[in-house]
Amino acid sequence: MVIAAVILAAGAGSRFGGAKQELLLPEVLRRVRESCVDEILVVSGAHPLETDARVVNCPDWALGPGVSLRFGLETLAAKVDAAVVVLADGPDLSPAAVDRVVAAWREGSGEVFAASYDGVRGHPVVLARSVWDRIPAEGARALPPVLVPCDDLGSPGDVDLADELPGRLREETAE
């Protein structure tokens, strides 16, 4: 089975004060590359992105995260069986969390699997191809998942404000 990662990096970063993807995407990409995914696609929108990963620009990104996600999914090859959805603003994503959620999808019955942290749905999320056309504008959060506990791996983080940037990334940007 072919698994692709779709990294959502289309937002404007208005609460952050600009293109947070420039700071966070390299770390997220590094971590996704350490996982079991077969290919990676980054969906941009508000800001152009320069990276060695394959990037597609969603012209309608402002209509909601589901629009960007559907755009990315539609771009994937027909051979892809499922997509791992990752947010570009989660720099602490554990590659093991990606592997665990993918393994649950491969072993289980269900179409949507999501990592959970302290019982709360989080990322990454695996979407079987069979649900791709059912994703609403608000995103895959509207689809009920099978939760895969990843408490021991730590949350991927969610950087919305500049002061939420992990110290290691602040140090890199100061150099």
CATH number of the domain enclosing 125: 3.90.550.10
- What confidence tens digit (pLDDT) does each residue in 18-68 have? 667 788 899 999 999 999 999 999 999 888 898 999 999 999 998 988 999
The answer to whether residue 90 sits within a structural domain is yes
The answer to whether residue 21 sits within a structural domain is yes
Q: Which of 6-10, 14-18, 140-144, 153-157 has the lowest mean pLDDT?
A: 14-18
Number of domains in the chain: 1
Q: In terms of residue numbers, what domain contains 63?
A: 2-167
Q: Which of 139, 132, 163, 26 is nearest to 88 (CA)?
A: 26
- What confidence tens digit (pLDDT) does each residue in 78-120 have? 999 999 999 998 889 999 999 999 999 999 889 999 999 999 9
Q: How confident is residue 161, by pLDDT bands cut at 50, 70 and 90? A: very low
The amino acid occupying position 71 is F
**pTM summary value:** 0.90
The answer to whether residue 150 sits within a structural domain is yes
The answer to whether residue 175 sits within a structural domain is no
- What confidence tens digit (pLDDT) does each residue in 135-153 have? 988 889 899 999 999 999 9
**Residue 75, Cα to own-chain centre: how many angstroms?**
15
Q: How confident is residue 164, by pLDDT bands cut at 50, 70 and 90? A: low
The answer to whether residue 89 sits within a structural domain is yes
Would you say residue 12 has pLDDT above 70? no
39-44: strand order across its sheet? 54-57, 39-44, 2-9, 80-87, 120-128, 112-117, 146-149
Confidence (pLDDT) at 22: 82
Would you say residue 159 has pLDDT above 80? no
The answer to whether residue 174 sits within a structural domain is no
The answer to whether residue 154 sits within a structural domain is yes
The answer to whether residue 7 sits within a structural domain is yes
- Report the distance separating Cα 83 and Cα 125, nearest Å: 8
